[in-house]
Amino acid sequence: MTPFKLTEELLSEIGQLIENQQNSTLETMLEEVHYADIAEIINELNDGQATYLIKLLDSDKTSDVLTELDEDIREAILNNLSAKEIAGELEELDTDDAADIIGELPKEIVNEVISKIEDRDHAKDIVDLLRYDENSAGGLMAKELVKVRESWNVLTCVKEMRAQAENVTRVHSIYVVDDDDKLKGRLSLKDLLTTSTRSHISDVYIPKVDSVNVNEKPEEVAKIMSKYDLEAIPVVDEMGRLVGRITIDDIVDVIREEAERDYQMAAGISQDVEADDSIWDLTRARLPWLFLGLVGGVGAAAIMGGFEDMISKHAILFFFTPLIAAMAGNVGVQSSAIIVQGLANDDLKGGVGNRLIKEMLLATLNGLILAGVLLIFTWIYKGDFLTALAISISLVVVIIVAGLIGTFIPLFLDKRGIDPAIATGPFITTSNDIFGILIYFSIAKILLGI
């Protein structure tokens, strides 16, 4: 496969062709291009050009292109399309993607768009999906699936299946339901290939199938599907009735987004932003955490102001405050990141107490090594053993406390049902800065006198 590469030349060529309305050249040129690549192209065009291309190309292709576009570009294009044109695109999409797009439309045109969808069953399925919370299994699932009744025989089943499979891109599993639509089990395509046509489904199906409740959180669904290596999972409602199916490609997106969100939180970016977003969006995402840092810094300054009387005799103590703050911050981030990851992967065993004891041992070990190095260095460099000792002892205590805070806060937040990932990054560094400096000066004051 020669991978598609978006070049400046290609973009300007396409721009030119659009300006000159050379439709047939454009159509031929883009015929063999994958919809995900066309989406990459359109993301770089202006709104007018983008709309032109979407209107020009076949809706079986442009519908998929729409799902892959950046949200702001898609919004601009949909604004330029009539309700009938939008309905035409939705007609080609799987119900989950169609519902996602409807969710982004202005409320006042939703009804009109839905009324223009010709396939009324498809429209009904889409409307069904609209009532689910975006952040749930129901919000992720599609209505497209292949299901058969346990009362059928294999022949009926194959016939029905062929008809249903028309609407389903990838079949994966054939779900078996009873007469009340309750999920009973599954049939694999492979099994069906090797079974006599006269057998009854109730005799050949596997009466065991993983499923998730329609209210399950997407992250949970992702965890289940990746733990059990599933490529699709059926979704059931509160009565156990089969209402939809989630496929692995949607889960890959969930995993990616979750990882990006955690990463951004750890880096002190509070919204889902990208490098190409506007300066205003980026400011809104970054400023709140910086402001938190500012407040923390002012707090640290106030604490140091309280120890001002030490400055004449022990100025060197003040020179090491960035070191103390940095170490407290780094240790806190390290320990919280490990806990957050352990929580995310469900592989934290043992109670909070054990965690804290372990972190204390670990921080003590790290702290002693680092403080030892610092002690020797400061002693040689400044020649004042007592000050060097005071700084080093403070460092050990600060590291231990920072490690305990970093371990405790995410565990505490998780117990409270709050996403522990917010405890990583600026939040932990800021609080550890303040605690660290307070502990540092207090210990130094005790050891050195005034």
Which one of 89, 125, 262, 414 is in contact with a copy of itself (CB under 8 A)? 262
Contact of 231 with 247, CB cutoff 8 Å: yes
Residues of this chain, 305-324, that bind a copy of itself according to CB under 8 A? 305, 308, 311, 315-316, 318-324
Q: Which stretch binds a copy of itself (CB under 8 A): 18-26, 32-40, 85-93, 134-142?
A: 32-40
How far apart are CB 111 and a copy of itself at their closest, in Å?
A: 30
- 3-class DSSP state of 247: strand
199 burial class (0-12, 13-18, 19+ CB within 10 angstroms)? middle
* Cβ 83 to a copy of itself shortest distance, Å: 28
Q: Which of 155, 206, 373, 418 binds a copy of itself (CB under 8 A)?
A: 373
Residue 298 near a copy of itself by CB under 8 A: yes
CA 15/CA 42 separation, integer angstroms: 10
CA-based nearest residue to 140, from 241, 262, 234 = 234
Q: In angstroms, give the least distance from the CB of 283 to a copy of itself.
A: 6
- Residue ranges in 43-82 that form contacts with a copy of itself under rule CB under 8 A: 44
| Residue 193 binds a copy of itself, judged by CB under 8 A | yes
Q: Which of the residues 126 through 165 are near a copy of itself (CB under 8 A)?
A: 162, 165
Burial of 104 (0-12, 13-18, 19+ CB in 10 A): exposed
- Rule CB under 8 A: say whether 15 interacts with a copy of itself: no
Choices 47-55, 114-122, 195-203, 365-373 (CB under 8 A): range interacting with a copy of itself: 365-373
Could you tell me the smallest distance in angstroms from the CB atom of residue 269 to a copy of itself? 6
Strands 173-177 and 146-149: parallel
In whole angstroms, the minimum distance from the beta carbon of 106 to a copy of itself comes to 27
Determine the 3-state secondary structure of 320 from DSSP. coil
Looking at residue 309, what DSSP letter applies? Answer: G
Give dist(CA 377, CA 397) in Å, integer: 19
Which of 56, 67, 64, 49 is CA-nearest to residue 11? 49
Does position 392 interact with a copy of itself (CB under 8 A)? The reply is: no
Q: Does 274 bind a copy of itself (CB under 8 A)?
A: yes
H or E segment to which residue 236 belongs: strand 232-236
Cα distances from 336 to residues 406, 427, 437, in angstroms, run 4, 11, 20
Picking from 54, 147, 53, the residue whose alpha carbon sits closest to that of residue 101 is 54
Alpha helices (runs of H) in 34-167, residue ranges in sequence order:
35-43, 47-56, 59-68, 71-80, 83-92, 95-104, 107-115, 120-130, 137-140, 154-165
Amino acid identity for residue 20 in this structure: N
Please, what is the angle between helix 59-68 and helix 83-92, to 10°? Answer: 90
Q: Does 86 bind a copy of itself (CB under 8 A)?
A: no
Residues in region 335-364 near a copy of itself by CB under 8 A: 336-339, 341-342, 345, 347-349, 355, 358, 361-362
Q: Does 231 bind a copy of itself (CB under 8 A)?
A: yes
Query: Does residue number 256 form part of the binding site for a copy of itself (CB under 8 A)?
Result: yes
Beta-carbon neighbour count of residue 72 at 10 Å? Answer: 13
Closest CA to 133 of 103, 160, 159, 166: 103
Q: Judged by CB under 8 A, does residue 34 bind a copy of itself? A: yes
* Token pair recorded at residue 272: 């889902």
Task: Find the binder of a copy of itself among 377, 412, 418, 449 (CB under 8 A).
Answer: 377
Shortest Å distance, C-beta 232 to a copy of itself:
9
Within residues 393-412, the interface with a copy of itself by CB under 8 A covers 399
Counting contacts by CB under 8 A, is residue 263 touching a copy of itself?
A: yes
Among 112, 124, 130, 293, binds a copy of itself (CB under 8 A): 293
| 24 lines the binding site for a copy of itself (CB under 8 A) | no
Q: How many residues bind a copy of itself (CB under 8 A)?
A: 111
Tell me: does residue 96 bind a copy of itself (CB under 8 A).
Answer: no
Nearest distance in Å: CB 282, a copy of itself: 5
Q: Is 186 helix (H, G, I), strand (E, B) or coil?
A: strand
3-class SS at 423? Answer: helix
Output the smallest distance, CB 320 to a copy of itself, in A.
5
Residue 113 interacts with a copy of itself (CB under 8 A)?
A: no
Residue type, 368: L
